[in-house]
A and B are shown apart, each in its own frame.
Chain A
Amino acid sequence: MIEIKNLYKSFEQKEVLKNISKVFNKGETNLIIGRSGSGKTVLLKSIVGLHEIDRGQILYDNRDFTSMSTKLRKKLRREMGMVFQGGALFDSLTVEENIRFPLDMFSVLTPSEKQKQVDFCLERVNIADANKLSPSEISGGMKKRVAIARAIVMNPKYLFCDEPNSGLDPETSLVIDELIHSITVDLQITTIINTHDMNSVMEIGDNILFISDGEMCWEGNRKDILHTENQKLQEFVFANKQYQRIRDDKINQ
Chain B
Amino acid sequence: MNIFNQTGKYFALLLKVFSKPERHSLYVKQTFNEIENLGVNSVGIVTVISIFMGGIITLQVAYNMTNPLLPTYLIGLGNRDTLILEFSSTILALIMAGKIGSNITSEIGSMKVTEQIDSLEIMGVNSASYLILPKIIAVVMMFPLLYILSVFFGLIGGMIVGPAVGAVTVTDYLNGVQYLFNPYYITFSLIKCLVFGFLIASISAFFGYTVEGGAFDVGSASTRAVVNTNIMILVWDLILTQLLL
Contacts and interface: CB of A to CB of B under 8 A. Distances in A.
Nearest to A41: B115
Contact of B22 (A90, A91, A105, A154): A105
B123 A88 contact: no
Contact of B124 (A50, A75, A89): A75
A105 B124 CA distance: 9
B119 A84 contact: yes
Contacts of A250: none
B121 interface: yes
Given A86-B114, A88-B114, A88-B116, A50 B122 contact: yes
A106 B115 contact: no
Given A104-B23, A105-B22, A88 B124 contact: no
B231 interface: no
A48 B122 contact: yes
Given A104-B23, A105-B22, A45 B118 contact: yes
B115 A105 contact: no
A79 to B, nearest CB: 9
A102 interface: yes
Nearest to B33: A92
A89 B120 CA distance: 10
A82 B119 contact: yes
A124 interface: no
A86 B112 CA distance: 12
Interface in A73-117: 74-75, 77-78, 80-82, 84-86, 88-91, 101-102, 104-106
Given A104-B23, A105-B26, A106-B22, A74 B119 contact: no
B125 interface: yes
Interface in B93-141: 111, 114-116, 118-119, 121-126
Contacts of A89: 116
Contact of B23 (A75, A85, A106): A106
Contacts of B23: 104-106
A160 B123 CA distance: 12
A128 to B, nearest CB: 23
B26 A104 contact: yes
A213 to B, nearest CB: 22
B122 A80 contact: yes
Interface in A47-79: 48, 50, 74-75, 77-78
A45 B125 CA distance: 16
Given A48-B122, A50-B122, A74-B124, A90 B26 contact: no
A84 B118 contact: yes
Nearest to A104: B26
A106 B26 contact: no
Nearest to B107: A92
Given A105-B26, A106-B22, A50 B118 contact: yes
Contacts of B126: 74
Contacts of B115: 84-86, 88
B125 A105 contact: yes
Interface string B22-52: 1100100000000000000000000000000
Contacts of B116: 88-91
Given A50-B122, A160-B122, 5 more contacts: A77-B121, A77-B124, A80-B122, A84-B118, A102-B123
Interface of B: 22-23, 26, 111, 114-116, 118-119, 121-126
For the complex of A and B, list the 5 residue pairs with the smallest distance between their C-beta atoms, beginning with the closest: A77-B124, A88-B115, A88-B119, A84-B115, A74-B124
26 contacts: A45-B118, A50-B121, A74-B126, A77-B122, A77-B123, A77-B124, A82-B118, A82-B119, A82-B122, A84-B118, A84-B119, A85-B115, A86-B114, A88-B114, A88-B115, A88-B118, A88-B119, A89-B116, A90-B116, A90-B119, A101-B123, A104-B23, A104-B26, A105-B123, A106-B23, A106-B124
